[in-house]
Amino acid sequence: MGNIITIAHQKGGVGKSTLAVNLALCFQDQLKIALVDTDLQGSLYHSREEFPGLEIVGANRLEDIADLPHDLVIVDTPPYLSNKLPNLFAQSNFILVPTKAGFFDVMAIRATLALVHEAQTINPQLKAGIALNMVKPRSSITADVADLLESLGTPLLRTRIHDRVSIARSSITSGILHSTDKKAIEEITSLAEEIVQLIIT
Ligand SMILES: Nc1ncnc2c1ncn2[C@@H]1O[C@H](COP(=O)(O)OP(=O)(O)O)[C@@H](O)[C@H]1O
Ligand SMILES: [Mg+2]
């Protein structure tokens, strides 16, 4: 049984699917990866032709997720608190909670973090981290929001992903790693490394 990284935030539009696919592409040279799309809207699953080298499987595989013969399973989740999340979280090794630095995004994050904390009481090995995504350059809101997020009991990851056209376009250009945007590549690679470090320590 491989490691499971689940990406969750009950709000839509915070970058769950974007980070899920780009993290999967980052790891796929070294590891046998499955990307599981549990969003019934199925955006990743339906765009799987865009990523020919990547194994993207549908939500029906959720039941047997722990039996998938992969080194690493990355699970994308829907933009609401699905009743499948508690079980999924309890089986995961890491929960990544991406968020924008907006007021409503941060208000909405608490419900997801509460589920993470519940899962951590059942599975004490479970690690989690919040990642600031779509960060605007030189925005003072980001610093205020970072302070607030630090107080919520789930670590705020060091890596910040900025608001970049190359990232917005990454789902139609076979992923950020294939772009020429070095800064975007650095950010996604750094996020992948930070998550691996947290899982193995
Ligand atoms: N760092 C970023 N910079 C620019 N656009 C982004 C970034 N992350 C995500 N997006 C864009 O924001 C929108 C929402 O992202 P998506 O991954 O679908 O969010 P979610 O899965 O949480 O609903 C998409 O159009 C995506 O291309
Ligand atoms: Mg999504």
Q: Characterize the bridge pairing of strands 127-132 and 94-99.
A: parallel
Give the mean pLDDT of 103-111: 91
* pTM, rounded to two decimals: 0.96
Considering its fold, how many domains does the chain have in total?
1
Residue 40 pLDDT level (bands cut at 50, 70, 90): confident
Q: Supply the CATH number for residue 43's domain.
A: 3.40.50.300
Order of strands, edge to edge, in the sheet holding 55-57?
55-57, 33-37, 72-76, 3-7, 94-99, 127-132
CA-closest residue to ligand 1 atom 16: 15
Distance CA 139, CA 96 (A): 23
Percent of the chain with pLDDT over 70: 100
CA-closest residue to ligand 1 atom 5: 168
- Among all bound ligands, the one having the nearest atom to the CA of 97 is 1
Answer positive or negative: Cα dihedral of 79, 113, 36, 186: positive
